[in-house]
Amino acid sequence: MIATDTFILDKQAAVDAIHQANEILGLRFSDVAEALGIHRRTVFRYQKLESVPSVEVRDRLALPQYLCRGSHP
């Protein structure tokens, strides 16, 4: 797999995680942003596939229990 494919997969994984937090857990985008320690506009950029989460944020997105806490440590 080339780097571009990985980049696209990372973007889609972020979208999927945000969608699940929103639809399944009932979290608003602002809740997701607060849990991840990022600005809500950044969540919208992820959702629109305009940017890719940092490794740290991507790791947090992979942990549903992290989002359920509602805030970052």
pLDDT confidence band for 65 (50 / 70 / 90): low
pLDDT at position 73 is 46
pLDDT at 66 > cutoff 80: no
pLDDT above 80 (res 48): yes
23-27, 33-37, 61-65 — which is least confidently predicted? 61-65
Domain positions in the chain are: 3-68
The answer on pLDDT for 15 being more than 80 is yes
Residue 22, class by beta-carbon neighbours within 10 Å (0-12 exposed, 13-18 middle, 19+ buried)?
A: middle
pTM above 0.85, yes or no: no
Distance separating alpha carbons of residues 1 and 70, to the nearest angstrom: 35
